[in-house]
């Protein structure tokens, strides 16, 4: 076990939520199992940690992906930035406890930031704001508070994930373009395929209207879809209105 590794926060949390974090050495042994290792380390392989805690497994995978990318693109900062964001965009987590969700988001961003800062240093550069803001946006969208079993959040809303699908990704692509699509966890389980760019629309909990009530006073809510974007500009979350 790593020195000072905290695996239990309180007896109450263990009893109520089964919160016992996995030791780093065990995470490492599990993630590097033959057959799994080669797949999980690829930037485009989607990984979901369904009871993520503070992100033990996601952290390990992100660290290994960033190391691999730095070895693949030792002379190309722009490609490293693009593929590092892609590597984050396919890591997902669901966690019940709000404090763990925040810690998981921070942990993943700190891993990204520290690695990126050191790698940029090889080029006498500082991390770019666009890249770091995009990393924050992607991580915050991918690590979701919720009850994985009920598929809902504390606010009783569906758990929603963003797919960041690369567009025309080729071996020599330098600037990766993605299209973001929001899926509920329920839709993912049901293998429903949405139009690329779809934005999740919350269903308002209003009193039911009867057939004879007037619908004229209801506000017309415009519908939006995400626009294709460079992954380094994901933080802009650009959308367009869908014409009626
Ligand atoms: C055994 S810990 C594992 C945490 C992390 N995966 C690790 O290996 O260190 C289980 C975690 O699941 C969370 N949890 C418990 N029930 C859950 C549920 N229904 N949905 C999502 N998370 C849940 C707990 O809050 C706790 O952080």
In-domain check, residue 6: no
What is the residue whose two structure tokens read 């000072």?
A: 4
Which run of H or E residues covers position 129? helix 129-142
CA-nearest residue, atom 15 of ligand 1: 17
Give the position, in ligand 1's atom list, of the atom nearest the Cα of 49.
6
In-domain check, residue 32: yes
In-domain check, residue 65: yes
CA-nearest residue, atom 9 of ligand 1: 21
Rounded to the nearest integer, the mean pLDDT of the chain is 93
Mean pLDDT of 102-110: 98
In-domain check, residue 155: yes
Return the best residue to mutate from 95, 101, 185 for the ligand 1 pocket (most ligand atoms within 8 A of CB): 95
Give the position, in ligand 1's atom list, of the atom nearest the Cα of 97.
25
Q: How much of the chain, in percent, has pLDDT values that exceed 90?
A: 80
In-domain check, residue 208: no
Q: Tell how far CA 116 is from the center of its chain.
A: 18
**For residues 83 and 171, is the Cβ–Cβ distance under 8 A?**
no
How many distinct structural domains can be found in the chain?
1
In-domain check, residue 100: yes
In-domain check, residue 2: no
Find the domain containing 143 and state its range: 11-203+213-241
Query: What is the spatial distance between Cα 162 and Cα 130, in angstroms, rounded to a whole number?
Result: 19
Confidence class for position 13, pLDDT limits 50, 70, 90: confident
- CA-CA-CA-CA torsion sign (167, 136, 85, 147): negative
In-domain check, residue 192: yes
| Dihedrals phi, psi of 240, to nearest 5 degrees | -130, 155
20 vs 80: which has the higher pLDDT: 80
């Amino acid at each position: 076990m790593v020195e000072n590794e905290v695996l239990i926060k309180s007896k109450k949390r263990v009893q109520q939520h089964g919160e016992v974090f996995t030791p780093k050495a065990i995470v490492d042994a599990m993630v590097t199992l033959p057959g799994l290792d080669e797949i999980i380390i690829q930037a485009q392989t989607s990984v979901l940690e369904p009871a993520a805690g503070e992100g033990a497994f996601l952290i390990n995978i992100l660290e290994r992906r960033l190391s691999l990318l730095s070895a693949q693109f030792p002379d190309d900062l722009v490609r490293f930035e693009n593929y590092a964001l892609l590597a984050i965009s396919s890591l997902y987590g669901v966690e019940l406890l709000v404090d763990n969700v925040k810690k998981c988001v921070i942990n993943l961003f700190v891993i990204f930031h520290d690695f990126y800062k050191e790698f940029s240093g090889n080029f006498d550069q500082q991390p770019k704001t666009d890249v770091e803001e995009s990393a924050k946006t992607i991580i915050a969208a991918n690590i979701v508070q919720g009850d994985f079993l009920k598929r809902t959040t504390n606010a009783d809303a569906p758990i929603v994930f963003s797919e960041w699908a690369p567009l025309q990704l080729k071996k020599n692509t330098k600037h990766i373009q993605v299209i973001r699509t929001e899926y509920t966890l329920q839709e993912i389980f049901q293998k429903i395929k949405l139009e690329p760019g779809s934005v999740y629309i919350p269903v308002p909990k209003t009193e039911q209207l009867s057939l004879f009530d007037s619908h004229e006073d209801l506000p017309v809510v415009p519908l939006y879809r995400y626009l294709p974007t460079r992954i380094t500009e994901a933080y802009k979350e650009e959308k367009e209105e869908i014409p009626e």
